[in-house]
């Protein structure tokens, strides 16, 4: 037995469950439509620009703003998005078509779906025709679209992804870590990092992230933690092949990627940033810097989260020369579909063009709404707002992420969410034991913000008239999600080993044979090869009782667990 907090020569890996990042499983009536911000009644004053050297909690250099302005000037001279243009021209051809997909440009599209979304998506759902380029060997519109994206996001090269950020994280780890090599990463990494380790054969060296027990939320990692991990690996006479950092986290907490990158580069180690929630960073003085602006070697972004591409579309950005770009390309060809959706690819091109039109001002209104809603909520008795003070060891937080707590009202996040959803049709992004997280973006409108504020005020008033406020929300205490992590078997070996099922009460001390997540937030609580502990089981049973879904386990009710045969 040994703890994963110390380096090991074993090959810790796990498997991928294909889980997405949207933890809300409910369906609901179609929400009331709202006008775009440019159509809203009442003028919304843009945020007054600060001095270009000022920013969130720290001094900012002029470099970033110069880059944004430069890109803006270039974008004004650009023609229409190259991939959009090519897709439109191909769809409008009057051709006799004998190619896939079988709906044949909508001629045989299922009526049940065309009644919902119309024929146009099918007309533009085309395969890799010669005039549409080849995703794995681009020479035409895909190459041009990726080059324009690289210019906007400040990378030396950008790849479009149709397998989401999951695919990008897997490719980044496979491209930097060969079997048996060490990957330093936070223990609260997304499951895509776990699946990448079984694909690459990388050996994880886990960093236990900072944890706020009041909020029951994990933060990021600090440069000192990364340095300590590097030194522990070096004491064993080895060198880490890469460092993975998640920044920002789901809750918008940003690590100091610049210092981490400088530290790692001094040791010749590349830095991968899981920037799934940060594709919008760096486009406004009120926002933290992006990973590319802070010198990261690889950054993977979910362009569909805060930016406006279609779900499942993402980008992988590379900078510098530490990582072999040919190896990245080979990994992506291995991982991505050989029949990529051009609707997804075109949406990435369109999202890039949308930002390029006005990169320094496009987030003004969304930021203004975020400031207004947070300032108003802070004045409501019994409601807490997660802010930088909740994680003081980190330089900044994403201003478009709103996490609120109801502990003072005696309500869990699940209970509060149920009220907001049933009574006000307010749909959040993430529900947890102590909080609810809301994502503001370019599509956020004032009417919906006002409905959120009204719903919260109603919730507070209703709670005041009940006994709820008199009880304390049951938390997880000091035995949170990462307590007592021990690994007894290489996860890759655990994944392929013989299995047997045992009742949960008989599982303590056994070697887990399946990856078990609480969903939300989708962070592995137990990974194959880790010893099942009482604290881990207590945590899982606690969050399940509060409404979380147990994902990955073959028995989601946790009456039994699959373990490795000894």
E strand map for 25-178: 157-161
Q: 374: domain CATH number?
A: 3.90.1150.10
pLDDT for position 300: 98
Kindly give the residue spans of alpha helices, DSSP state H, lying in 357-406.
364-378
Structure tokens at 236: 């064993």
Question: C-alpha 395: how far from its chain's center?
Answer: 19
CA–CA separation, 517 vs 187, rounded Å? 13
3-class DSSP state for residue 318? strand
Residues 193 and 278 reside in one and the same domain: yes
pLDDT for position 466: 64
Question: C-alpha 306: how far from its chain's center?
Answer: 10
Residues 218 and 242 reside in one and the same domain: yes
pLDDT for position 62: 36
Q: Is residue 72 part of a domain?
A: no
CA–CA separation, 216 vs 478, rounded Å? 10
**Of 492, 440, 512, which Cα lies nearest the Cα of 12?**
492
Residues 309 and 420 reside in one and the same domain: no
E strand map for 427-515: 430-431, 435-439, 486-487, 499-503
Judging by DSSP bridges, how do beta strands 298-301 and 217-218 pair with one another?
unpaired
**Of 277, 80, 155, 130, which Cα lies nearest the Cα of 146?**
155
pLDDT for position 67: 41
Structure tokens at 374: 């947070």
pLDDT for position 32: 37
Which of 448, 465, 482 terminates a domain? The answer is 465
Q: Is residue 260 part of a domain?
A: yes
- Kindly report the length of the chain: 566
**Of 319, 313, 360, which Cα lies nearest the Cα of 151?**
319
Backbone angles phi, psi at 398, to 5 degrees: -70, 120
Which of 316, 340, 357 terminates a domain? The answer is 357
Q: Is residue 172 part of a domain?
A: yes
Q: Is residue 472 part of a domain?
A: no
Kindly give the residue spans of alpha helices, DSSP state H, lying in 406-475.
413-424, 446-464
Q: 529: domain CATH number?
A: 3.90.100.10
Which residues make Cβ contacts (< 8 Å) with residue 331, sequence separation at least 6?
A: 170, 171, 174, 175
CA–CA separation, 252 vs 215, rounded Å? 14
Residues 325 and 281 reside in one and the same domain: yes
Looking at the chain, the whole-number percentage of residues with pLDDT higher than 90 is 67
CB 80 within 8 A of CB 353: yes
Q: What is the pLDDT of residues 406-445, one digit of tens each?
A: 989 999 899 999 999 999 999 999 998 889 999 999 999 9
Residues 348 and 257 reside in one and the same domain: yes
Task: Give the total number of structural domains in the chain.
Answer: 4
Residues 116 and 246 reside in one and the same domain: no
Q: Is residue 149 part of a domain?
A: yes
**Of 141, 136, 212, 236, which Cα lies nearest the Cα of 435?**
212
Q: Is residue 313 part of a domain?
A: yes
**217-to-252, 386, 478, 480, 536 alpha-carbon distances in Å:** 11, 10, 12, 9, 16
Residues 414 and 558 reside in one and the same domain: no
Residues 374 and 338 reside in one and the same domain: no
pLDDT for position 464: 72
Residues 148 and 165 reside in one and the same domain: yes
Helix axes 413-424, 446-464, angle to 10 degrees: 120
Q: What is the pLDDT of residues 269-310, one digit of tens each?
A: 999 999 999 999 999 999 999 999 999 999 999 999 999 999
Task: Quote the pTM value.
Answer: 0.84
Q: 197: domain CATH number?
A: 3.40.640.10
CA–CA separation, 104 vs 482, rounded Å? 51
Q: Is residue 548 part of a domain?
A: yes
Q: Is residue 555 part of a domain?
A: yes
Residues 307 and 394 reside in one and the same domain: no
Residues 324 and 369 reside in one and the same domain: no
Residues 219 and 295 reside in one and the same domain: yes
Range of the domain at 516: 491-564
**364-to-359, 361, 369, 402, 442 alpha-carbon distances in Å:** 10, 5, 9, 17, 9
pLDDT for position 517: 86
Sign of the CA dihedral with 557 first, then 560, 565, and 566 last? positive
Which of 340, 357, 374 terminates a domain? The answer is 357
pLDDT for position 78: 52
Each of the 566 residues of the chain gets a pLDDT tens digit; together they read 333 333 333 333 333 333 333 333 333 333 333 433 333 333 333 333 333 332 332 333 334 443 443 343 344 445 689 999 999 999 999 999 999 999 999 999 999 999 999 999 999 999 999 999 999 999 999 999 999 999 999 999 999 999 999 999 999 999 999 999 999 999 999 989 988 998 998 988 999 999 898 898 999 999 999 999 999 999 999 999 999 999 999 999 999 999 999 999 999 999 999 999 999 999 999 999 999 999 999 999 999 999 999 999 999 999 999 999 999 999 999 999 999 999 999 999 999 999 999 998 999 999 999 999 999 999 999 999 999 899 999 999 999 999 999 989 999 899 999 999 999 999 999 998 889 999 999 999 999 999 999 999 999 998 876 654 455 555 554 445 665 778 887 777 888 889 999 999 999 999 999 999 877 666 788 988 899 998 888 888 888 887 778 888 899 889 999 999 97
pLDDT for position 16: 31
As beta bridge partners, residue 384 has 405
């Amino acid at each position: 037995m040994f703890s994963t907090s110390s380096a090991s020569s074993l090959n810790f890996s796990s498997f991928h469950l294909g889980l997405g990042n949207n933890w809300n499983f409910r369906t609901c009536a179609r929400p009331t439509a709202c006008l775009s911000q440019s159509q809203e009644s009442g003028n919304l004053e843009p945020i007054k620009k600060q001095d270009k050297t000022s920013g969130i909690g720290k001094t900012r250099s002029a470099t970033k703003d110069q880059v944004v302005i430069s890109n803006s000037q270039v974008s004004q001279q650009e023609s229409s998005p190259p991939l959009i243009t090519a897709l439109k021209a191909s769809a409008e051809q009057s051709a006799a078509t004998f190619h896939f997909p079988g709906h044949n440009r909508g001629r045989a599209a299922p009526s049940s779906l065309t009644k919902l979304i119309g024929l146009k998506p099918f007309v533009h759902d085309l395969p890799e025709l010669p005039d549409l380029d080849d995703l794995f060997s681009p020479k035409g519109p895909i190459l041009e679209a990726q080059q324009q994206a690289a210019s906007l996001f400040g990378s030396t090269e950008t790849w479009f992804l149709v397998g989401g950020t999951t695919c990008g994280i897997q490719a980044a780890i496979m491209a930097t870590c060969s079997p048996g090599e060490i990957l330093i990463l936070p223990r609260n990494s997304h499951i895509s990092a776990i699946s990448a380790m079984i694909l690459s054969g990388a050996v994880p060296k886990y960093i236990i992230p900072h944890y706020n027990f009041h909020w029951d939320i994990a933060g990021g990692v600090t440069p000192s933690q990364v340095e300590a991990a590097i030194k522990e690996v070096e004491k064993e006479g080895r060198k880490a092949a890469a460092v993975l950092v998640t920044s920002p986290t789901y809750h918008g907490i940003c690590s100091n990627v610049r210092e981490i990158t400088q530290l790692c580069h001094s040791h010749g180690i590349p830095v991968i940033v899981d920037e799934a929630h940060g594709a919008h960073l760096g486009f406004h003085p009120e926002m933290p810097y992006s990973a590319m602006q802070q010198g990261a070697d690889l950054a993977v972004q979910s362009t569909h989260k805060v930016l406006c591409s279609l779900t499942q579309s993402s980008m992988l950005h590379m900078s510098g020369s530490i990582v072999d770009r040919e190896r990245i390309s080979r990994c992506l060809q291995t991982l991505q579909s050989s029949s990529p959706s051009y609707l997804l690819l075109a949406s990435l091109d369109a999202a890039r063009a949308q930002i390029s039109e006005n990169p320094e001002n496009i987030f003004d209104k969304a930021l203004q709404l975020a400031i207004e809603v947070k300032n108003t909520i802070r004045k409501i008795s019994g409601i807490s707002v997660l802010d930088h003070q909740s994680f003081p060891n980190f330089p900044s937080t994403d201003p478009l992420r709103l996490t609120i707590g109801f502990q003072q009202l005696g309500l869990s996040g699940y209970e509060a969410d149920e009220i907001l959803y049933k009574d006000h049709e307010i749909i959040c992004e993430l529900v947890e034991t102590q909080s609810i997280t809301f994502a503001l973006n370019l599509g956020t409108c004032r009417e919906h913000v006002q409905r959120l504020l009204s719903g919260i005020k109603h919730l507070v008033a209703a709670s005041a008239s009940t006994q709820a406020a008199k009880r304390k929300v049951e938390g997880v205490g000091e035995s949170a999600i990462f307590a007592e992590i021990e690994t007894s078997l290489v996860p890759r070996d655990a994944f392929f080993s013989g299995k047997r099922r045992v009742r949960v009460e008989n599982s303590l001390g056994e070697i887990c044979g399946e990856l078990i997540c609480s969903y939300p937030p989708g962070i592995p609580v137990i990974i194959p090869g880790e010893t099942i502990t009482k604290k881990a089981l207590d945590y899982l049973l606690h969050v399940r009782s509060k409404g979380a879904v147990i994902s990955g386990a073959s028995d989601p009710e946790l009456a039994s667990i699959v373990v490795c045969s000894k």
